[in-house]
């Protein structure tokens, strides 16, 4: 409240003079009242004197006088309302009060005045049982402009939509809305759209009425209360609606559709909107032409759309200006270096523990913390929204569907989901393949769909979302679904499953990922060459991901791809077989159980373990990797879950969790399916990373004994 001090000084003396007069008037009135206790005129005068001392005293900064007078005023308010009688005692107390007030005013009594005032107040409460126990009421400064006095800038800028429809009588209470509009404009970027549909023809025009009303779009950081303050004196008599329509966070340059805006604002009914939408033309002009909405309302909605888009563009540009472009190769190098650091740090940790030096341990811990932070930051730099590949997909859907004479809409959910850049590059092709398949084999031709009672237009939904340390990408279509029988026949035909072996449910659909299987009767140039889905699986396996398919006959198919958030570093479980180390990705590990020799069921490399009554097949990695030596008496089974199935891996011992940087294997190992990479451990030794799903496939392909297992 700058300037308030000087302001007070200018007025303190004037108030003193005025208060002296009022106090002597008060004394005279009180003495008169003693003679004539029923005289309401006198009571009124006493009350008014107190009221004026209080109000003007507050303005001039006499706080002590204000709070004391407030109590006296309260007492005389009760007298005025005839709730308290005028007694000699009351008058006596009030006269003493008047003297105390004079002392306070002249500043002659010092702190004793305050004490005397307190006594008076308790006396008053004593003789007036009705006295409210509010105590000395704090006189707060008026708050209308408090917001404006606060420093702006701290609060975030939001964009509001405001509909202000003043009462037609607003002129008659001395208010001209254009000043309120000016005030709104002062709060930030503001768009003003007048609505003129209430203006009558001249013969019915009442010059005292305000027919105009307004839509505003305002971007301000002052908060909603500042907006309400603008309308404070008219809000009760007017229609005022304030909504936040943009929080400045949205990355998308798109904004709501016109129909949506009109509906939100209550300018059209849902029913009318549906009618207009059915005509499949520019819905704005349809609605105006058919009189469902006024031009002004449409203009307002259009302007809102344009405004928000413009705002978002500006925001994006501002953000872009504050960013740097770096070739992604540089980021890869950086990520590699951080990987080396992680490895070195693990060695440091191990070393520090064996040295038993507390200072070294502290240093190692510090390095670990920093390395973790560094790693996370590098990873986040490499993350980009998956929507970057979507425009390519949209194009494919558009081109393919028109080529095939199909009507297909691609809906995308979760396009803002972020993924490692290199992962996005690698996921793009498999994703394209799956979508091609949906378009070609899944979605029926329009006529066929109509015959089935489905909408002409088919839908492919692409849904991306996070789930733990993975990202799930689902492609769902509402087409005809997979034909389980056709797949079975084909699979038997191709020798993928021995005749007579029962494969059911989900498992049958998984067969579409086997190489050489295509159920399309005719080979089209888009898909159906029998390669494709197996390539999809290979690609996703290479990303340490999984792919699953579900299907409902006549209703559609859903392919789910699960990939880890990042490629460069994984959390793994370090296990040991003889002197060799292996890493199993932690994301698929369910639990570890001990296996004693005596518990072994089954023979050779196909084993079954009984885990709390559940029969789980396990694979002996010693066999798979051809490691010699004798296993220990007690071995460990690491139970994993992939593609919805549980499989255990038999190892000698479990070392513990580890964070590892994946090193690609040289081309020599390209053919080794069951290893997805290698990593260097803290002590410098190399550990191989197990490609669990491949090993399982390998294991399955080695014989169809699973059915035999199930029978047990």
| Helix pair 421-437, 390-403: axis angle to 10 deg | 10
| Residue 253 lies near other proteins (rule: CB under 8 A) | no
Question: Between vectors from CA 57 to CA 55 and to CA 59, what angle results, nearest 5°?
Answer: 75
Q: Which of 105, 190, 561, 621 binds other proteins (CB under 8 A)?
A: 190
Toward other proteins, which CB reaches closer, 311 or 544? Answer: 311
Site for other proteins in 59-78 (CB under 8 A): 59-60, 73, 77
Toward other proteins, which CB reaches closer, 93 or 210? Answer: 210
Toward other proteins, which CB reaches closer, 27 or 235? Answer: 235
Nearest-approach distance from CB 281 to other proteins, in angstroms = 15
Site for other proteins in 622-681 (CB under 8 A): none
Give backbone dihedrals phi and psi of 460, rounded to 5 degrees, phi first. -115, 125
Query: Which of 533, 509, 550, 564 shows the shortest CA–CA distance to 429?
Result: 533
State in Å, rounded, how far the first CA of the chain is from the last one: 86
Q: Which of 28, 107, 135, 141 binds other proteins (CB under 8 A)?
A: 141
- How far apart CA 299 and CA 296 sit, in angstroms, is 5
CA distances, 191 to each of 185, 215, 308, 633 (Å): 8, 8, 11, 80
Site string for other proteins, 76-95 (x = CB under 8 A): -x------------------
Stretch of residues binding other proteins (CB under 8 A), selected from 43-51, 112-120, 241-249, 553-561: 43-51
The one-character DSSP state at 599 is G
Site for other proteins in 148-177 (CB under 8 A): 148-149, 171-177
- How far apart CA 288 and CA 345 sit, in angstroms, is 69
Q: Which of 123, 167, 299, 422 binds other proteins (CB under 8 A)?
A: 299
Q: Which two tokens stand for residue 379?
A: 């990873």
Q: Residue 161 forms beta bridges with which residues?
A: 217, 243
Query: Which of 539, 565, 634, 633 shows the shortest CA–CA distance to 593?
Result: 634
| Residue 202 lies near other proteins (rule: CB under 8 A) | yes
Toward other proteins, which CB reaches closer, 19 or 427? Answer: 19
- How far apart CA 247 and CA 259 sit, in angstroms, is 21
Q: Give the SS3 label for residue 677.
A: strand
| Residue 261 lies near other proteins (rule: CB under 8 A) | no
| Residue 449 lies near other proteins (rule: CB under 8 A) | no
Nearest-approach distance from CB 29 to other proteins, in angstroms = 12
| Residue 133 lies near other proteins (rule: CB under 8 A) | no
Q: Which of 29, 97, 159, 195 binds other proteins (CB under 8 A)?
A: 195
Query: Which of 690, 695, 577, 696 shows the shortest CA–CA distance to 627?
Result: 577
* Number of residues near other proteins (by CB under 8 A): 80
| Residue 711 lies near other proteins (rule: CB under 8 A) | no
| Residue 130 lies near other proteins (rule: CB under 8 A) | no
Nearest-approach distance from CB 558 to other proteins, in angstroms = 44
Q: Residue 384 forms beta bridges with which residues?
A: 419
Nearest-approach distance from CB 335 to other proteins, in angstroms = 43
Q: Helical H runs in 452-528?
A: 484-493, 505-510
| Residue 294 lies near other proteins (rule: CB under 8 A) | yes
- How far apart CA 73 and CA 98 sit, in angstroms, is 12
| Residue 9 lies near other proteins (rule: CB under 8 A) | no
Give backbone dihedrals phi and psi of 702, rounded to 5 degrees, phi first. -70, -5
Q: Which of 118, 126, 205, 369 binds other proteins (CB under 8 A)?
A: 205
Question: Does residue 671 contact residue 574 with C-beta atoms inside 8 Å?
Answer: no
Q: Which of 51, 257, 347, 663 binds other proteins (CB under 8 A)?
A: 51
The burial class, CB within 10 Å (0-12 / 13-18 / 19+), for 451 is: exposed
Toward other proteins, which CB reaches closer, 174 or 327? Answer: 174
SS3 content of the chain, % helix, strand, coil (to 5): 50, 20, 30
- How far apart CA 443 and CA 434 sit, in angstroms, is 12
Q: Which of 29, 45, 86, 566 binds other proteins (CB under 8 A)?
A: 45
Q: Which of 72, 121, 162, 180 binds other proteins (CB under 8 A)?
A: 180
Toward other proteins, which CB reaches closer, 162 or 661? Answer: 162
Stretch of residues binding other proteins (CB under 8 A), selected from 244-252, 293-301, 418-426, 620-628: 293-301
Question: Between vectors from CA 290 to CA 285 and to CA 295, what angle results, nearest 5°?
Answer: 50
| Residue 233 lies near other proteins (rule: CB under 8 A) | yes
Toward other proteins, which CB reaches closer, 60 or 487? Answer: 60
Q: Residue 618 forms beta bridges with which residues?
A: 607, 648
Q: Which of 86, 193, 508, 688 binds other proteins (CB under 8 A)?
A: 193
Stretch of residues binding other proteins (CB under 8 A), selected from 11-19, 425-433, 462-470, 576-584: 11-19
Q: Which of 112, 118, 178, 707 binds other proteins (CB under 8 A)?
A: 178
Q: Which of 3, 453, 500, 684 binds other proteins (CB under 8 A)?
A: 3
CA distances, 453 to each of 441, 456, 461 (Å): 19, 9, 20
Q: Which two tokens stand for residue 658?
A: 């580890």
The one-character DSSP state at 603 is E
| Residue 513 lies near other proteins (rule: CB under 8 A) | no
């Amino acid at each position: 409240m700058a300037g308030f001090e000087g302001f007070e000084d200018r007025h303190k003396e004037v108030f003193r003079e005025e208060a002296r007069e009022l106090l002597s008037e008060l004394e005279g009135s009180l003495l008169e009242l003693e003679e004539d206790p029923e005289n309401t005129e006198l009571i009124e005068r006493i009350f008014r004197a107190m009221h004026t001392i209080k109000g003007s005293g507050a303005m001039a900064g006499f706080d002590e006088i204000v709070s004391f007078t407030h109590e006296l005023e309260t007492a005389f308010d009760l007298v005025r309302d005839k709730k308290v009688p005028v007694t000699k005692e009351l008058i006596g107390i009030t006269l003493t009060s008047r003297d105390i007030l004079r002392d306070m005013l002249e500043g002659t009594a010092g702190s004793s005045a305050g004490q005397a005032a307190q006594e008076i107040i308790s006396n008053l409460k004593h003789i007036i049982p009705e006295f409210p126990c509010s105590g000395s009421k704090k006189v707060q400064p008026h708050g209308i402009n408090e917001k404006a006095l606060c420093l702006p800038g701290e609060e975030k800028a939001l964009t509001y939509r405001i509909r202000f429809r003043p009462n037609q009588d607003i002129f008659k209470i001395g208010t001209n809305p254009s000043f309120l509009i000016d005030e709104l404009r002062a709060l930030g970027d503001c768009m003003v759209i007048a609505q003129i549909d209430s203006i009558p023809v001249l013969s019915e025009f009442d010059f005292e009425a305000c027919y105009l009303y307004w839509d505003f779009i305002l971007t301000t950081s002052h908060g909603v209360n500042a907006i309400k303050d603008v309308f404070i004196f008219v809000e009760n008599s007017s229609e005022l609606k304030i909504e936040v329509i943009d929080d400045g966070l949205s990355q998308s340059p798109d904004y709501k559709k016109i129909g949506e805006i009109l509906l939100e604002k209550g300018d059209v009914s849902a029913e009318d909107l549906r009618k207009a939408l059915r005509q499949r033309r520019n819905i704005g002009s349809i609605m105006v032409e058919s009189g469902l909405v006024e031009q002004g309302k449409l203009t307002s909605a259009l302007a809102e759309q344009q405004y928000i888009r413009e705002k978002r563009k500006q925001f994006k540009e501002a953000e872009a200006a504050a960013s740097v472009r770096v070739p992604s190769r540089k980021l890869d190098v950086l990520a590699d270096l951080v990987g080396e650091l992680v490895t070195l740090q693990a060695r440091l940790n191990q070393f520090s523990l064996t040295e038993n030096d507390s200072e070294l341990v502290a240093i190692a811990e510090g390095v670990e913390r920093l390395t973790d932070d560094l790693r996370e930051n590098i990873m986040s730099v490499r993350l980009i929204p998956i929507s970057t590949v979507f425009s390519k997909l949209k194009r494919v859907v558009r081109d393919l569907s028109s080529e095939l004479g199909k009507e297909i809409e691609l809906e995308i959910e979760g396009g803002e989901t972020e993924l490692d850049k290199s992962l996005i590059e690698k996921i793009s092709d498999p994703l394209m393949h799956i979508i091609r398949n949906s378009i070609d084999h899944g979605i029926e031709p329009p006529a066929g769909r109509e015959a089935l009672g489905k909408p002409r237009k088919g839908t492919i939904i692409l849904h991306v979302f996070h789930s733990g340390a993975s990202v799930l990408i689902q492609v769902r279509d509402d087409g005809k679904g997979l034909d389980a029988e056709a797949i079975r026949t084909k699979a038997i035909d191709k020798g993928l499953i021995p005749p007579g072996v029962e494969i059911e449910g989900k498992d049958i659909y998984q067969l579409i990922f086997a190489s050489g299987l295509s159920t399309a009767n005719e080979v089209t140039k888009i898909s159906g060459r029998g390669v494709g889905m197996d390539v999809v699986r290979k690609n996703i396996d290479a990303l340490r991901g999984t792919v699953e398919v579900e299907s409902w006959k006549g209703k559609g198919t859903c392919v789910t791809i699960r990939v880890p958030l990042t490629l460069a570093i994984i959390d793994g479980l370090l296990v040991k077989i003889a002197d060799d180390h292996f890493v199993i990705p932690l994301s698929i590990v369910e639990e570890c159980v001990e296996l004693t020799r005596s518990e072994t069921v089954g023979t050779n490399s196909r084993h079954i373990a009984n885990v709390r009554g559940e029969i789980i097949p396990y694979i002996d990695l010693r066999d798979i990797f051809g490691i010699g030596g004798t296993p220990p008496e007690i071995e460990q089974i690491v139970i994993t879950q992939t593609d919805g199935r549980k499989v255990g891996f038999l190892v000698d011992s479990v070392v513990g969790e580890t964070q590892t940087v994946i090193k690609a294997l040289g081309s020599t190992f390209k053919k080794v399916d069951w290893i997805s990479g290698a990593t260097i451990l803290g002590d410098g030794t190399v550990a191989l990373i197990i490609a669990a799903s491949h090993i399982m496939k390998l294991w399955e392909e080695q014989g169809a004994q699973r059915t035999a297992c199930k029978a047990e």
